Homo-oligomer: A and B are copies of this chain.
Amino acid sequence: MKVQNFRNVRGLTAAPGVLMHVVAGPAEGAPNFVMRLFEIQPGSATPHHSHPWEHEIFVVSGKGTLKSGDRQTPLREGDAAMVLPDELHSFANAGRETLRVICVVPLVDGKMPGMPVAD
């Protein structure tokens, strides 16, 4: 068992204005999936991209937009999103405060799958 606050886990730059805190993953002995806390600054977004693995997401605080192809869905605190494998998607901050989202991905070959830096 391990408990740690995301603020004590060093954030990795996933995109400009986007920090990723890996809060439960291989370093904690995770057997199947990895939990990350993303902090997206106002005006920033993750790259619009797709990959063969899914996302399960929960909005902790802030306001955002989930884009999937040409479709845009607003996001607010308490929203959960299921992004299926190979769905084109990106998350943007649409508010004035930091957008914080939990994003869980499966382990692939025992590792957290990579995130492209650009589209």
Listed in ascending order, the chain A residues whose CB lies under 8 Å from chain B are 1-7, 9, 23-24, 28-33, 35, 37, 54, 56-58, 60, 66, 68, 71, 73, 75-76, 78-85, 87, 89, 102, 104, 106
Q: How far is the CB of A2 from chain B (nearest CB, A)?
A: 5
What residues on B are CB-neighbors of A58 within 8 Å?
6, 23, 35, 37, 58, 60, 102
Q: Which residue of B lies closest to A100 (CB)?
A: B78
Say how many copies of this protein the assembly contains: 2
The answer on a CB contact under 8 Å between B37 and A83 is no
Say whether chain A's binding surface is mostly helix, strand, loop, or mixed.
Answer: strand
In angstroms, Cα B88 to Cα A100, docked, is 30
Given the known interface contacts A23-B58, A102-B58, A104-B56, the answer about A6 and B37 at a Cβ–Cβ threshold of 8 Å is no
What 19 new A-B contacts, CB under 8 Å, besides A1-B82, A31-B106?
Answer: A1-B73, A1-B87, A1-B89, A3-B75, A3-B81, A4-B80, A6-B58, A6-B79, A6-B80, A24-B80, A29-B82, A30-B54, A30-B82, A32-B33, A35-B56, A35-B80, A37-B58, A37-B78, A102-B102
